Structure 1
Amino acid sequence: MKPSSLERYRQTLEQQVLPCWQNVSVAKGTAPALQAWINELSRDRAPSTVKKAHHAMSMILDFALRDRRIAANPASGINLPRARHDEPTFLTREQLFTLAEKAGPGKLVVLTLGFTGLRWGEMAALKVQRWDGGRRRLTVAESVTEINGLLNWGTPKTHATRTVPVPTWLAERITESTAGKGPDDLLSSTPAGGVLQNKNARRDWFD
């Protein structure tokens, strides 16, 4: 499991599960009690958040079941809130260019994200050697995320290396940005050459 996934589980436990259940024995985690907890969470939390909390609790109860502390997992029959299936919203080409202009020094990063579909961590991990200007291809083989102030390097979300085509006009800008950089330098970085972190970039470019 990726460190980022472990961190999300930790946050779910601390924010949704433990406040209600940390001092309750698993034997008292009955189906009615669990349903009441889920109903309470659903009052002010998104369905996806509630489902993550239920999943975390269910895994705890599965462990108790394997350890023969309970006879069955009472979380298996709980009614969960329905997920909202809102229509996805996409920026138009003009909106993307407007956003990129507002990003100032982050213009090329915004354009790269918008026209390639890369995730932030994939973009931030790209090194110059992953750029093939002749074929106009980016090779996505790593990803980097920040967890509790520390950078964690790993594989992309799908664990698979892939190549991503880049429009000609954008490829020219990317090639220009590599001038003076070595193959192991980051393709996009902070002024000091460090890893671009999402929250810092948003603050520096848009706030």
Structure 2
Amino acid sequence: MARRNGRRRFGNVRKLPSGRHQARYLGPDGIERTAPNTFETEKQAEKWLTIVESEIIKGDWAAPEAGEVLLGEYAQQWIAERRLAPRTRENYEDLYRLRIRPYLADLALGTIRPQTIRTWRKKLLDGGTPEPQAVKAYSLLRAILNTAVKEDEIIRQNPCRIKGYDRYHTPERPVATVAQVYRLAEAVPDRFRALILVAAFSGLRWGELAALRRSDVDLAAAVVRVPRKLAALRNRMEFGPPKSEASNRTVTLPAAAVTALKPHLLQHVAPTPEALVFTGDKGALLRTGNFGRAVRWKATVAAVGLPDGFHFHDLRHTGNNLAASTGASTRELMHRMGHSSMRAALIYQHATSERDREIAAGMDKRISKQDPKRNNRRKPDDPDDGQLARVG
């Protein structure tokens, strides 16, 4: 053991009246701590101190008492102190209350292991929790414990490191054809016709559409600005900033959306700049529940030939697919959709047979323009024919 002038360089060992040995050391935080148990021999006590010293040198040391913090106390404080949008905060509170607290709240952070997480997830799924909710709960717990590791240094390693637990299979959402979008717009009450068309042809989210004001719409330039969203919270509706910095954007509208907005602004929107563009009956704030009842959504969707389970949000999906089919770049799609990462935009750039035919048709036009012999095919004895045959 490393010693200096006959004494240990790190920590100290003393013999107790009982004959056993006690190990003590000064932690990186300046607090002297005693080993949780005594040792039969001095050598065993010194070996324990060597292990602790090694952990401190490698940066793996954590205050032993910190691991005794209960997950329930830590998680609630984490949610309360985090900078979150109101809707996100409510979602986190619900996930914790329903999916995490009943199973893990009374466990000390230092006692949670990967096996604990596997058992917890199995209980969730066996108890009827849908897999998407289990994934969201796992992701929330992982974020909470990441803070305990990296910022608060309460635990050394995050037990939420199990491959595959942070994702689930998402079936591809249905896409409406342009004809179906128009049929849906014609089938709803007149005050909601423009809402359907703008949703499908702009790619704006429900909350962004519900928060649009007359001053955000510039029909002459064919653009809408998205500076805010409307969120439905537990007991109130609240205007706030868009989902992310990238969501605060200006979107150019196709002519079809502009054409729908012109009469809508005249008939259903007050002339003041702050007037909401889309509202429910009697000018009330637009809510998903009231809207669904007003347009008889499920029955109307079925009547126009759209699949069962087609959601209003699928109109945004439809618009994003339309934008991708024009050949828009990933960056262009990210801007239009209001996303800060490429992941979502790339989803809409997968190849489709229809788009592939359009590409082939475009290639044929270019080939036709640049082929000087298209209408004067080569003769059989053209020497190039042999070359082409051999290459083929």
User: Shorter chain as normaliser: what TM range?
Assistant: 0.7 to 0.9
- The CA RMSD over aligned residues, in Å, is 2.4
More displaced, 4-13 or 69-78? 69-78
Contact 1:47–1:81 (Cα < 8 Å) also in 2: no
Q: CA deviation at 1:143?
A: 0.8
Q: CA deviation at 1:204?
A: 2.0
- Distance in 2 of aligned mates of 1:11 and 1:38: 17
Residue of 154, 157, 166 corresponding to 1:72? 157
Q: CA deviation at 1:93?
A: 1.3
More displaced, 174-183 or 73-82? 73-82
Matched, 1:204 2:291: no
More displaced, 46-55 or 147-156? 46-55
Residue of 45, 50, 54 corresponding to 2:134? 50
TM-score (norm 2): 0.48
Of structures 1 and 2, the one with the larger relative CO (CA 8 A, separation 6+) is: 1
Superimposed CA distance per residue, residues 50-104 of structure 1 (whole angstroms, 9 cap, x where no aligned partner): 2221122223334444555544322234651752143332111122223223322
- Structure of greater Rg: 2
Residue of 192, 200, 214 corresponding to 1:114? 200
What residue identity is the alignment partner of 2:176? L
Secondary structure, in 3 states, of the residue corresponding to 1:73?
Answer: coil
Matched, 1:144 2:227: no
TM-score (norm 1): 0.86
Contact 1:47–1:82 (Cα < 8 Å) also in 2: no
What residue identity is the alignment partner of 2:232? E
Matched, 1:183 2:273: yes
How many residues align? The count is: 207
Q: CA deviation at 1:188?
A: 1.2
Q: CA deviation at 1:8?
A: 1.5
Aligned pair in 2 of structure 1 residues 45, 100: CA closer, same or farther (>3 Å)? farther
Secondary structure, in 3 states, of the residue corresponding to 2:281?
Answer: coil
Q: State percent identity of aligned pairs.
A: 24
Aligned pair in 2 of structure 1 residues 90, 117: CA closer, same or farther (>3 Å)? same
Contact 2:197–2:260 (Cα < 8 Å) also in 1: no
- Distance in 2 of aligned mates of 1:106 and 1:169: 15
- Distance in 2 of aligned mates of 1:52 and 1:191: 35
More displaced, 59-68 or 194-203? 59-68
The unaligned stretches of length 5 or more in structure 1 are none
